[in-house]
Amino acid sequence: MVMNTTENTHIPVLVGEVLEALSGVREGLVADVTVGLGGHAEAVLDAHPGVTVLGLDRDPAALERASRRLARFGDRVELRQATFSTLWEALGGRRAAGLVADLGVSSLQLDDPSRGMSFRAPGPLDMRMGPDAPESAEELLRSLSTDALADVLYQYGEERASRPIARAIKKALDEGRLTTTRQLAECVYRVLGPPRFGRLDPATRTFQALRIAVNRELDELEALVRGLPEVLEDHGVAAVISFHSLEDRIVKHGLRALPSLEVRTRKPRSPTEEEARGNPRARSAKLRVAHRRPRGGGE
Give pLDDT tens digits for 108-151.
Answer: 787 788 899 988 889 999 999 998 889 999 999 999 999 999 99
**CA angle (188, 191, 193) in 5-degree steps:** 85
Whether 127 is in a domain gets the answer: no
The pLDDT of residue 168 is above 90? yes
pLDDT above 70 (res 6): no
Report the alpha-carbon distance of residue 59 to residue 130 in Å, rounded: 4
Residue 3 has pLDDT above 80, yes or no: no
Query: What's the number of domains the chain is made of?
Result: 2
| Structural domain includes residue 96 | yes
The pair phi, psi for residue 240, each rounded to 5°, is -120, 125
Higher pLDDT pick, 282 / 216: 216
- In this prediction, residue 107 carries a pLDDT of 75
Q: Which pLDDT value is given to residue 26? A: 92
| Residue 299 pLDDT | 66
**Residues 64, 91 within the same domain:** yes
Beta bridge partner(s), residue 240: 101, 288
Last residue of a domain, one of 199, 215, 231: 215
Q: What is the CATH number of the domain that holds 174?
A: 1.10.150.170
Mean pLDDT, to the nearest integer, of 156-166?
97
Coil, strand or helix: which one is 134? Answer: coil
- pLDDT at 2 (0 to 100): 39
Greater confidence (241 vs 107) lies with: 241
- Structural domain including 264 reads 7-108+218-292
**Residue 36 lies inside a defined structural domain of this protein:** yes
Tens of pLDDT, residue by residue over 194-225, are: 999 989 999 999 999 999 999 999 999 999 99
Contact 202/212 with Cβ under 8 angstroms? no
Element (H, E) at 287: strand 286-292
Report if residue 126 sits inside a domain.
Answer: no
